[in-house]
Amino acid sequence: MRLYSFFTFSLIFAVISSLHAQDIERITINYTDTLSMDVFVPTGTDQAKPLLVYVHGGGFSGGTRDSQRNLDFCRYFAERGWITATISYHLTRKGKGFGCDVPIQDKIKTFDMSARNTHQAVKFLLDDKKYQIDPGKIVLAGSSAGAEAVVQAAYWKETKKGILSDDFQYAGVISMAGAVLDIGWISDATAIPTQLFHGTCDPLVPYDMASHHYCKPEKEGFMMLYGAKAISDKLAELNKTYYLVTDCNGGHEWAGKPMGKDYIHLIDDFLTTDVLAGTRRQTKIVLQEGKSTCDLNFDYCN
């Protein structure tokens, strides 16, 4: 009996270990005009696989897709059975800034372009049948500017036109210190599982509802944005799935912290439970790690 138990345990351990130690192939490819992506593909199986696409931050003026952190993030989930890709997109604000003096029309065009580039990357991977992607299990993730790109891509229907079909819908979206332009885009029909990481005192992207960079109304760049709290409140109102991670007095560092070893398990939990298993739940985690100060005050932070 002991031998049987030991053998059974060893077999289970071997299976679990193999799932987390798959051979991974890394491919760097151009997906449209000057834009490229690094794709990580688990090998050794012919089954359709889920896809996770990551969009880097950098204020739409900088940042790179292939930083070591981004590559490590993609490899981590490729080892768990996902095809993953970290993509480039057009840095339309390079050398131009993205502050309160930038006209709102230019800001909206920037959001639109980054969302379209994200869709183009997804379409490229879907069209290439060698990747064997399950079209019903595609998730977008992004940090800061990249988070703004992916939430617009997930919820701004117009950005898909001419790229993906009108009825195409992502299986989930992960926003690390991002915000959406119009909370009205989130409806009973469009809501998808949404994971949100944000600090309440983020000085660049509002945690709740406020103007971009907190610009004053008289400025050309005054543009309302709806951050993690506003998005999760809307999804709660609709009784839809969300996964909110709030850091009281946290700042914009939450654009990158979720990708680190202390928090990446929360993304794994969201992908495994809310996306792949399809569990309908509303998760709210409140952390008290932030060191910033701001005028915002929320009951759960007291």
Q: pLDDT tens digits for 242-272?
A: 999 999 999 999 999 999 999 999 999 999 9
CB 183 within 8 A of CB 194: no
What pLDDT score was predicted for residue 44?
A: 80
Average pLDDT score over the chain: 92
Percent of the chain with pLDDT over 90: 88
Q: Name the token pair of 88.
A: 């480039």
What pLDDT score was predicted for residue 6?
A: 35
Q: pLDDT tens digits for 71-90?
A: 999 999 999 999 999 999 99
Number of H helices, E strands in the chain: 6, 11
What pLDDT score was predicted for residue 22?
A: 63
What pLDDT score was predicted for residue 104?
A: 96
Q: Averaged over 185-189, what is the pLDDT?
A: 98
pLDDT-derived band at 17, boundaries 50, 70, 90:
very low
> Coil, strand, or helix at residue 223?
coil
Q: pLDDT tens digits for 105-137?
A: 999 999 999 999 999 999 999 999 999 999 999
What pLDDT score was predicted for residue 64?
A: 97
In whole angstroms, give the CA distance from residue 202 to residue 129: 41
Count other C-beta atoms under 10 Å from residue 55's C-beta.
30
pLDDT-derived band at 198, boundaries 50, 70, 90:
very high
Percent of the chain with pLDDT over 70: 93
Q: Which of 6-10, 35-39, 215-219, 294-298 has the lowest mean pLDDT?
A: 6-10
pLDDT at 9 over 50: no
Q: pLDDT tens digits for 46-78?
A: 789 999 999 999 999 999 999 999 999 999 999
C-alpha distances (whole Å) from 240 to each of 159, 234, 280 are 23, 9, 7
pLDDT-derived band at 201, boundaries 50, 70, 90:
very high
CB 61 within 8 A of CB 94: yes
In whole angstroms, give the CA distance from residue 130 to residue 53: 17
In whole angstroms, give the CA distance from residue 286 to residue 283: 10
What pLDDT score was predicted for residue 188?
A: 98
C-alpha distances (whole Å) from 276 to each of 12, 51, 199, 290 are 21, 11, 27, 31
